[in-house]
Amino acid sequence: MYKAFKFRLVPNKTQQILINKNLGCCRFLYNQMLAERQEKYKNEDKTKNKTEKQYKKEFEFLKEVDSVALVQSRVDLDTSYKNFFRNIKKKQKTSLRFKSRKNSKNSYRTCNTRNNIRLKDNTIRIPKIGFVKFKKSREITGIIKFITISRNILNRYYISILCDTEIEKLPELNKNIGIDLGIKSFCFTSDNTEIKNPKYLKKSELKLAKIQKLFSRKKKGSNRREKCRKKLFKIHQKIANQRLDFLHQKSTKIINENQVICLEDLTVKNMVKNHKLAKSISDCSWSKFVELLSYKADWYGRTIVKIDKFFPSSKLCKNCGNKKEDLKLEDRVYNCSSCGIKIDRDYNASLNILEEGLRILNNSCRNDSDSSVNNKTLVLCS
């Protein structure tokens, strides 16, 4: 398994200059290669593109930085081009952009070769820079493969260390759970537990509005506008950190306490097209929550089951199976006209999601067992 560890770097002034050189050279090389490819594409020139060595001969300052980081910039550009043409085939809007030094986050990546990246107490050796202090908040396990060094507009430096490590799987449990994601409450589980929505963006809207008003009135390119930009960035960063911390806590708790987790396969991209609910949906960050659950389930031996997005989980009665077609969004209590049961709408939906998820899982297990009998192999399903 690959696992990333992110920490705050504390470089001295000399190391900051060296890191900034690496960031600038990687950005410069990326932009030069992109400009060359665009020019050749317009002129239908099919000659080979320049390599990093050829650019180093043309621009001598590129020799001062990490050569592996320059190679990774070219790899990133190749990946961007593949994604660009793939999206064109799918008829999706896409574009290739030059990297700007004014971006809120600049970063470069390098890999560990011949143990040139290694740890020593609370420092890490970075190629062409040396041992740099970092705030070690937890132990790093495994073999270091890549590191990514980033800098934001507040001139704060961070390092993300990707390691190849072994993760012990959690013991198997007999408890399964269905989760109904929502806006009023972040989610409602089939064990009748409501996780309230913290609404971090909504709580900070007044602060954001005040700073954004000042920011819009400042002259472009002025120092005061840049100060307001940094204040805005601080607020948005705090909101993002609060939300990510909340999602990590809840996803870890769900993974630790349940063996099978059933969810709806929501298409958030289409849901945010509703302008009345777009901000609230984005503030919930459902996609990130499902992403955290998915990779943690792979790590610790849990099972994630996604049911079809068109499954009427809220309209079906858990007691008798009656479908209520006239259910509205403001109806928070499910009143069944067939059996007369009254139940919380979200709790009813979570029970239906759990039942449908277990049905899908059992069907897939049966299909796997049938194929295993033909192949004379045994398939175990959790």
pLDDT tens track for 53-72: 999 999 999 999 999 999 99
Catalytic-labelled residue, pool 64, 191, 257, 264:
264
Do 66 and 122 reside in the same domain of the chain?
Answer: yes
Does the annotation mark 356 as catalytic? no
What is the total count of domains within the chain?
2
Q: Which domain holds residue 256?
A: 176-374
Q: Mention every residue, 6+ apart, whose C-beta is less than 8 A from residue 68.
A: 110, 111, 113, 127
Mean pLDDT along residues 175-180: 93
Do 134 and 34 reside in the same domain of the chain?
Answer: yes
Does residue 169 lie in a domain region? no
Nearest to 257 by CA among 174, 186, 194: 174
Domain-ending residue, one of 164, 191, 218:
164
How many other C-beta atoms are found inside a 10 Å radius of the C-beta of residue 161? 21
Does residue 309 lie in a domain region? yes
Domain-ending residue, one of 115, 140, 164:
164
Record the tokens describing residue 38, joined without a space: 């665009």
pLDDT of residue 126: 96
Domain-ending residue, one of 164, 192, 211:
164
Do 143 and 246 reside in the same domain of the chain?
Answer: no
Do 185 and 251 reside in the same domain of the chain?
Answer: yes
Buried b or exposed e, range 172-193, using 16+ CB within 10 angstroms: eeeebbbbbbbeeebbbbbeee
Do 235 and 153 reside in the same domain of the chain?
Answer: no
Do 21 and 120 reside in the same domain of the chain?
Answer: yes
Record the tokens describing residue 190, joined without a space: 């089939």
* Residue 284 near residue 247, CB atoms below 8 Å: no
Mean pLDDT along residues 122-147: 94
pLDDT tier for residue 371 given thresholds of 50, 70 and 90: low
Do 159 and 180 reside in the same domain of the chain?
Answer: no
Alpha-carbon distance of 62 to 22, in angstroms, equals 9
Do 123 and 56 reside in the same domain of the chain?
Answer: yes
Nearest to 23 by CA among 158, 221, 163: 158
Does residue 379 lie in a domain region? no
Does the annotation mark 368 as catalytic? no
The whole-model pTM stands at 0.88
Catalytic-labelled residue, pool 168, 194, 257, 346:
346
pLDDT tier for residue 369 given thresholds of 50, 70 and 90: low
Does residue 48 lie in a domain region? yes
Does residue 171 lie in a domain region? no
For residue 323, the 8-state DSSP code is B
Alpha-carbon distance of 184 to 195, in angstroms, equals 10
Q: Mention every residue, 6+ apart, whose C-beta is less than 8 A from residue 299.
A: 1, 167, 169
Alpha-carbon distance of 213 to 147, in angstroms, equals 38
pLDDT at 260 exceeding the cut of 80: yes
pLDDT at 331 exceeding the cut of 70: yes
Catalytic-labelled residue, pool 180, 283, 355, 356:
180
Do 103 and 194 reside in the same domain of the chain?
Answer: no
Do 97 and 7 reside in the same domain of the chain?
Answer: yes
pLDDT of residue 235: 95
Do 148 and 223 reside in the same domain of the chain?
Answer: no
Does residue 44 lie in a domain region? yes
CA separation, residue 95 to residues 26, 88, 272 (Å): 20, 9, 22
Question: CA 27, 30, 33, 34 torsion: positive or negative?
Answer: negative
Mean pLDDT along residues 243-263: 95
Do 351 and 236 reside in the same domain of the chain?
Answer: yes
Does residue 382 lie in a domain region? no
SS3 at position 338: coil
Does the annotation mark 264 as catalytic? yes
Dump the DSSP string for 73-104: HHHHHHHHHHHHHHHHHTT---------TTSS
Does residue 381 lie in a domain region? no
User: For the segment 83-134, what is each residue's pLDDT rounded down to a tens digit?
Assistant: 988 888 887 877 889 999 888 789 999 999 999 999 998 999 999 999 999 9
| Dihedral angle over CA of 77, 79, 81, 84, nearest 10 | -130
